[in-house]
Amino acid sequence: MVKSAFAAVAIAVVCSAVIAEARVTRIDMAKVERVDSPSPGAQGAIQTPPYERISGTFHGELDPADPKNALITDIQLAPRNARGKVEYVGTFSLMKPIDLSKASGVLMYSVVNRGNGTAAASPDGHISLVSGWQGDVVPTATNQTIQVPRARNPDGSSMAGPLVIRILGQSGTTAALIIPRATPSPYPPATLDTTKAMLVSAVSESPTGIKSGLVNIAGSDWAFATCERTPFPGTPDPARICLKNGFNPSLLYELQHSVKDPLVLGIGFAATRDINSFFRHEKRDDVGTPNPIAGAVRWAISEGSSQSGTFLRAFIRLGFNQDENGRIVWEGSNPNIASRVLDMNRRFALPGGAVAFYELGTEAPVWWEDWNDVPRGRGTSGLLDRCRTTNTCPKIMETFGSSEIWNLRASFMLVGTDARADIPLPDSVRRYFFAGVTHGGGRGGFSSAETAAAGCDLPVNPAPSAPMRSALTKAFVAWVTKGTPMPPSRYPTIADGTLVQDTAAALGFPRIPGKPSPENLVLPLLEYDLGRQFNYQDASGFLTAVPKVKRSLPQLVVKVDADGNEVAGVKSPLQMAPLGTYTGWNVTASGPLEGHVCGNIGGFIAFAKTKAERLASGDPRPSLEERYRSHDEYVQVVSNAASRLVREGYLLQQDASAMIKQAEASDVLR
């Protein structure tokens, strides 16, 4: 049934008698600034051609009747202009060589993370583009934003729905109503009557949402108000709540209430599609403003990390890689450190969320090849279903690391919701796992020095992933533009025994005195009951009640060696010449979530420097002097590792040389 529905949509798109008019209608170039390459003598400088950055706004409109737009939740209930179209306006930043003859022909679109980002110059001559897409981001002078309309009932009245606000570490009497990533809630309460809402506190909460020390706070003991200047019940304020006896920072608070006037956030997908298509194909906008890169783009590639990577997965899943004229938007796409489908195409969505309780994103398929989701009864489907019917699928480079396995439920994109067998990769997908790294990789360098991770038991994991991703990105561009083969995919699998259950016996993690064990620490995959109005396949529609957990589904983790370091994937020279155990997990030190994985922060457990020190502490892992004997020998191990990665295509020579110099300058065994 799922595939038949996709096919029907594709036929409707191809056979439509009217050419859709969803497009960017106007660009306003507010600022043009020259960006020169660093001077040749600057340390680490990479020469680039002279560039200019163009910043401005883009205006667009969407036809709600176009099948390519009709799947946007609530677009039919958004206000329309005189032409019957739904309008939006966003910001953009474009970086291009001043001399377009020096451009590579590649447009690199980077999905900004929660509005943060600007276009950057490329030593390879690529044109860089970023734009606003997240409609609940608060605009600033420097970020990328988009203004989208709010949906209303056909009679013009407000639409309402459930929303949960979670409050942690709060003191004082007043708390702002904040959605994920410290963003003021864009959804006002449907009523200020506290008897129509529920506020609770809890001492602690399990990973599956079971609360201990739960207290239901009476409606008479709190108000939608601020008490910062006026005693309780304070001054009415729809953006804050006041608690009569004050907040306890050691407790978790949760507000369940009804909100109104939803933003049509799914428009952000269509706006991204259309601005990419405009800069690639159009000569000018509707008022005659020339496209500053007209004729300079032959290929387009997108990349996004974390939240931005989940945007790419949803974008492709929903079919937005086909523009209004049926053309492919991006020939290549790199979702990095992202294992969900962005929660943006539903009413009262939270695109800034991640994996905290009630934050969605694991409901739709997250695997590339079609797979039968029997445990959840969702049928056979995959991320590429829609683009396959229209022949608009991009080549995919999927990159992620250890932190995504432990903290972002990434294993189920490899093995599905039953975790019984590996899901095959399509020929158009390459996958690279960065072993033993924190979310986005660490600072690099070669040192045993420890840097505390706020709120976590273990110090910060320094192991990097960016240098390897840089090499893979260069190879990815060559694959997209020339068909040049990429280095082989490297990732853990059930078949080779490197993807295992989160038990001490299966993992093989060493017992290190005074240090936590990762056993049973992996963040569980939750199946929510989201009601009949929610489309699980597309993560679309709307909720009629607060999500309820039906059950927890199995998750797998990566097997480790005797040092506690993961055995599968791509490793940096630092990890091939380890100075300790590098983990993608850490443990929350205190508070209501004590003992849970500590955000997306990885950990580091340094090796003892000497054998005597190791024996005194009872550490089973060999010390530095037992491993390398001398500083020069350590540098040689690093050099050999870097050279091997260069030969295999996982590291650029310039990064390898820089790492070897860092190892030479380090204090390891000096």
Instruction: Name the helix (H) or strand (E) containing 558.
Output: strand 557-558
pLDDT (mean) for 260-267: 98
**Which tokens belong to 472?**
């893979």
Given a cut of 70, is residue 9 above it in pLDDT? no
Cα separation, 281 vs 194, in Å, equals 53
Three-state SS at 351 = coil
Per-residue pLDDT band at 48 (split at 50, 70, 90)? confident
Mean pLDDT of the chain: 94
Three-state SS at 657 = helix
**Which tokens belong to 483?**
């068909």
pLDDT (mean) for 44-48: 60
pLDDT in tens, 188-216: 999 999 999 999 999 999 999 999 999 99
Question: Helices in 401-465 by DSSP H: which ranges?
Answer: 402-407, 412-415
Return the sign of the alpha-carbon dihedral for residues 283, 286, 288, 291.
Answer: negative
Cα separation, 630 vs 670, in Å, equals 7
pLDDT in tens, 69-81: 999 999 999 999 9
**Which tokens belong to 158?**
């407000």
pLDDT in tens, 440-453: 999 999 999 999 99
Given a cut of 50, is residue 269 above it in pLDDT? yes
pLDDT, position 11: 37
pLDDT, position 116: 94
pLDDT (mean) for 520-529: 95
Give the residue from 532, 456, 480, 486 showing the smallest Cα distance to 649.
486
State how far the alpha carbon of 424 is from the alpha carbons of 309, 366, 429, 493, 505, in Å: 21, 13, 10, 10, 27
Given a cut of 80, is residue 642 above it in pLDDT? yes
Per-residue pLDDT band at 23 (split at 50, 70, 90)? confident
DSSP letter assigned to residue 349: -
pLDDT, position 14: 37
Strand partners, 303: 110, 334
Per-residue pLDDT band at 471 (split at 50, 70, 90)? very high
pLDDT, position 49: 82
pLDDT, position 414: 98
pLDDT (mean) for 106-130: 95
Lowest mean pLDDT among 181-185, 434-438, 455-459, 600-604: 181-185
Asked whether the beta carbons of 324 and 20 are under 8 A apart, the reply is: yes
To the nearest whole percent, how much of the chain has pLDDT over 90? 93
- The residue with tokens 């936590």 is 516
pLDDT, position 47: 63
**Which tokens belong to 199?**
């506020």
Cα separation, 290 vs 140, in Å, equals 27
pLDDT, position 181: 86
State how far the alpha carbon of 387 is from the alpha carbons of 68, 114, 383, 390, 618, in Å: 12, 26, 9, 5, 56
pLDDT (mean) for 394-422: 97
Strand partners, 216: 200
Lowest mean pLDDT among 13-22, 251-260, 467-476: 13-22
Cα separation, 443 vs 462, in Å, equals 5
Given a cut of 80, is residue 15 above it in pLDDT? no
**Which tokens belong to 313?**
């997965």
Task: Determine the Cα angle at 360 with ends 356 and 361, to 5°.
Answer: 115
CA dihedral 632, 633, 639, 640 (to 10 degrees): 160
To the nearest whole percent, how much of the chain has pLDDT over 70? 95
pLDDT, position 583: 98
pLDDT in tens, 31-42: 999 988 654 444
Give the pairing type, strands 332-336 and 299-305.
parallel
Cα separation, 528 vs 426, in Å, equals 29
pLDDT (mean) for 617-622: 97
